[in-house]
Copies of this chain bind each other. A is one copy, B any other.
Amino acid sequence: MAELPRTVAIVGHGLIGGSIALALDALASPPMVITVDQDEDLGKTAGADLVVLAAPISENLRILSLIPGHLSAGTLITDTGSAKAGIVAAAAQLPPHVRFIGGHPMAGAAAAGRLAARPDLFAGRRWILTPDSQSRQADLAGLCALVEAIGAVPHVMDAAEHDRLIAFVSHLPQLTISALMHVAGEAAGESGLQLAGSGLHDSTRLAASPAPLWREIVGSNRTNIDAALDELIAALQRMRNDEGTDRLESIFTSAARWKERLG
């Protein structure tokens, strides 16, 4: 098994960064954990074996461009953003001594922010890693070991394929539920919503998600999300014009089959 890093710098300290810090502190032989929240403190990352960029996606990209001046040669950088192609491409443009492997822990909580952080946030959850052709096998093995140490299941995947899949299984559901809640609320109003059964209630938990966060996420994966929206719009149009056909029934049958596999 690969050796764990002795010093980990975590940049950005919300739900994900805070939970990584707590999970590392709980290890039998915890690494030294340095948390960085301001540009002035980026110098603290010097000498770290691993830097984890755990700020919002646009912040991670900005910090990635600032950080090379602070790094020693032995430092690996990873991130935790939900879109990977952009930051992997940006990292490839940096000087050769900057080693970067993208990451995406598939974990979340109803509440965001540092106060919601917990050491078991990643227990049993997938943690996607997206090495590219420049990545070193030893770096990937080290990241896998770290991810496993804090209870997650590492899963290696191509960055572009990751972004395409996430558009369909994470970003599209969020946009769809928000659009549905918006349209139903505007059309039915407060009294009309009282006619809703448990179906609308159970389906729309995601509609409470914060708008600014999602504006940024959508911006980071725009092309894939637009393609996913196009597919959904086409399916809804097939349902709309199904008079005398079995298109509605075939979509329902397909949906029930996929739901059974999803659980």
- Chain A residues proximal to chain B, CB less than 8 Å: 106-108, 126, 128, 162, 164-166, 168-170, 172-188, 190, 192-212, 214-215, 218, 222, 226, 228-233, 235-237, 239-240, 242-243, 248-249, 251-263
Contact = CB atoms under 8 A, between A and B. Distances in A.
Q: How many copies does the complex hold?
A: 2
Given A173-B199, A178-B255, A201-B262, 19 more contacts: A165-B187, A165-B188, A168-B192, A169-B192, A169-B196, A169-B197, A169-B200, A170-B199, A175-B248, A179-B232, A183-B231, A185-B262, A199-B206, A204-B259, A209-B252, A218-B239, A218-B242, A229-B239, A233-B240
Contact of A196 (B181, B240, B262): B262
A80 B165 CA distance: 42
Nearest to A180: B176
B194 A252 contact: no
Nearest to A176: B180
Given A168-B184, A193-B169, A261-B193, A255 B179 contact: yes
Given A195-B170, A203-B173, A183 B228 contact: yes
Contacts of A179: 232, 235-236, 239, 251, 255
A106 B200 CA distance: 12
A240 B259 contact: no
Contacts of A226: 240
